[in-house]
Amino acid sequence: MAKTQRVQRSKDDLKKELREQLQLLRHSCQSYDNGLEAVGKHISLSLRVLLHQHGDSRSLLDQLGYRTGKFLDSAGPLNPRNLMTECNLVMMRVSSTGASYLPLIAAGGGPLPLRPTPFVDWWNEPVLKDNKKRTFCRRELVLNVADTDGGAHVDPGLEEGYMALSRENSLGWIFSDGRVESALAGRPELACMRQIAHELLSTIHLYVPEFRDLSEPVVPQSPS
């Protein structure tokens, strides 16, 4: 089938799309914070639209010239001396009944320190290491969720490392009440989506004044 001719979109049209994407992203963050963990899959899709490009497909932020500057990093680099697993975008919340994965933004206690980082490094540097020394960067986390695990597609098979992370507790984080040990509740990869969304909203809010009102970071209520 022959390709149909495409008409170039105006910059105003792209900006309208960005406004809508930011509204969708903030709404998804609010839903995640209100307990709908699965909406992390929708967050991954928004992140993909805004950030990822491959071949002739360009990200929305790149089309508007907003992907070339600094991005705010809340994770920092992995520690090469650490022999344990690491997941720098999430935290563990412990209660009397168990423990769960949460994005760093859910910690409360004031604003998180955010480090300006070149986009290429922010997008591609590892932020997670599992129990077999497999690492994931933000790009790999986002694309695994968005492209294969319910964001835009549900593939019949998942990449081995991602399967281990999302279904087999390859981070190895456990909760013990002194009698029984159990894996943490929740899905670490979706908590990562929420934290990456926070970083992205914070970046646009700081560096793109035209969209500051639409990109104000969504901060959940402090844990009681």
| Confidence band of 52 (pLDDT split at 50, 70, 90) | very high
Please report the pLDDT score of residue 1 as a whole number: 62
pTM of the shown model:
0.94
Residue 179's pLDDT is: 75
Contact criterion met (CB below 8 Å) for 46 and 28: yes
How far, in whole angstroms, is CA 181 from its chain's centroid?
A: 28
Q: How far apart are CA 166 and CA 9, in angstroms?
A: 38
Q: Tell me how far apart the alpha carbons of residues 147 and 159 are, in angstroms, rounded to a whole number.
A: 11
pLDDT grade for 180, boundaries at 50, 70 and 90 = confident
Residue of 8, 25, 18 lying closest to 64 (CA atoms): 18
Q: What values do phi and psi take at 91, rounded to 5?
A: -135, 170
Average pLDDT, the chain: 92
Label residue 165 by pLDDT band (50, 70, 90): very high
Residue 166: pLDDT band by 50, 70, 90 thresholds?
very high
pLDDT of residue 176: 76
Spell out the residues 6+ positions from residue 68 whose beta carbon is closer than 8 angstroms to its own.
62, 119
Q: Out of 39-48, 96-105, 166-175, 177-186, which region has the weakest mean confidence (pLDDT)?
A: 177-186
How far apart are alpha carbons 47 and 29 in whole angstroms?
A: 12
